[in-house]
Structure 1
């Protein structure tokens, strides 16, 4: 009998993944600044999260690593925090007391939970993650570009139950529209390789404000482009576009 696997999208790339009662929070973002807008409701406060068994963070960008909000909200600083060395250094400076620094293809355990950093590429140093427990496997893509190393994941880890992928193809206008996040078509092509039971897009509602969207960033805010692309490239894979606060059970 399969272990239960649920996921609730808190907002942006912040997801609450639950495997057989183990609760993993990804890439926390709970606040907003003049150039960082969620573009959708954030459906939980830090205090409202309840017990968290592990916190995984792909990179140090504020919209994925809002540690100040966690500290201010009373988050338990003894909860294991897992991320690359760049994140680990910041976390220790914020007072987190149980920090696991791992880089691509390295693993760490938290009780029955096994977390492996997989490669990523972004505007700063980033890893992605394979999260495993109870015979279930989740790929969490943070906001990475699609890179060839990710195509090796099925050979290394077997069947993927759930893949959570960024889809907005974020480009930076001051850098000649340099792309720093995979777009819907690229995410769908990766989905076709991973062949998960369920794919969920994220990292698409974020924007930089009215002026910032014109001067700083360019992005695709419509997750249906991912759904359409998966329909063409991997029609056997189920896709769910998930509103923040919605709990999804993975078959």
Structure 2
């Protein structure tokens, strides 16, 4: 059994066979507008359901899909990182965080396709595979920067316990990754991010992308996250629900909505 607590935005506490894993920590209060580069920005409109101090103990692992956008790592989230036993992020993010957090003992940077593992007495080993992301339209990487997702497995098993997609549009590379994974829980970053200055260009998956990914991947459970709490999301929960309700058989049945701030066993 896997236990998830959605704290808001991309931030989820995953309790997996004794491991405590926190994704993309964002704990700043609402109201602030953050710049993302080239005239893009977003305002945080909803605060976290829990403060970092209320998590019930330090995380064993913090997964940071990318460190350079405040909706995935904000100031309060950055302050939490030294409390974690291990922090895993992109290679570029590792370099930046190592300079900013010289006391962070175990900081690891991965490229898509690379793996790392952690051991802890009394628990099965935790393996983390970095999965590909493209945080925008073609040729946007020099602007949007590198991003990764994370596939978590235990004890050398083939099945992925949790796959966190990270902030990405749907690409062939992502679909090819899905073909190679057997996934129990898909933690899908959605919301169809858009900015007025870039028009109709999208920087994350929309609901139709999510349906295509689920049809390809066939996870047991699909959990939407990172679709709320910020002004740059173009697609609300109600639209996502409508699209999944009209999806081919077997897709909508996987969907599970987490009540923000509440813990759910999946």
The question of a shared fold, defined as TM-score above 0.5 by the shorter chain, is answered with: yes
Gaps of at least 5 residues in structure 1 are 209-216
Once superposed, which parts of structure 1, at least 4 consecutive aligned residues long, lie more than 4 Å away?
35-38
Q: Does 1:243 align with 2:259?
A: yes
Checking the alignment, whether the CA contact within 8 Å between 1:38 and 1:205 is kept in structure 2 is no
Name the CA distance, whole Å, in 2 between partners of 1:101 and 1:71: 16
Please state whether the residue corresponding to 2:33 is helix, strand or coil. coil
Equivalences, count: 235
Q: Does 1:219 align with 2:234?
A: yes
**Superposition pairs of residues 22-171 of structure 1, within 5 angstroms:** 22-31=19-28, 32=30, 33-35=32-34, 36-49=42-55, 50-60=57-67, 61-66=69-74, 68-70=75-77, 72=79, 76-77=82-83, 79-95=85-101, 96-111=104-119, 112-122=125-135, 123-133=144-154, 135=157, 137-158=161-182, 160-171=183-194
Checking the alignment, whether the CA contact within 8 Å between 2:26 and 2:72 is kept in structure 1 is yes
Name the CA distance, whole Å, in 1 between partners of 2:243 and 2:178: 20
TM-score between the two structures when normalised by the length of structure 2: 0.81
Q: Which residue of 1 aligns with 2:122?
A: none
TM-score between the two structures when normalised by the length of structure 1: 0.85
- 1:187 is displaced (CA, Å) by 1.2
Q: Which residue of 1 aligns with 2:38?
A: none
Gaps of at least 5 residues in structure 2 are 35-41, 120-124, 136-143
Name the CA distance, whole Å, in 2 between partners of 1:241 and 1:194: 19
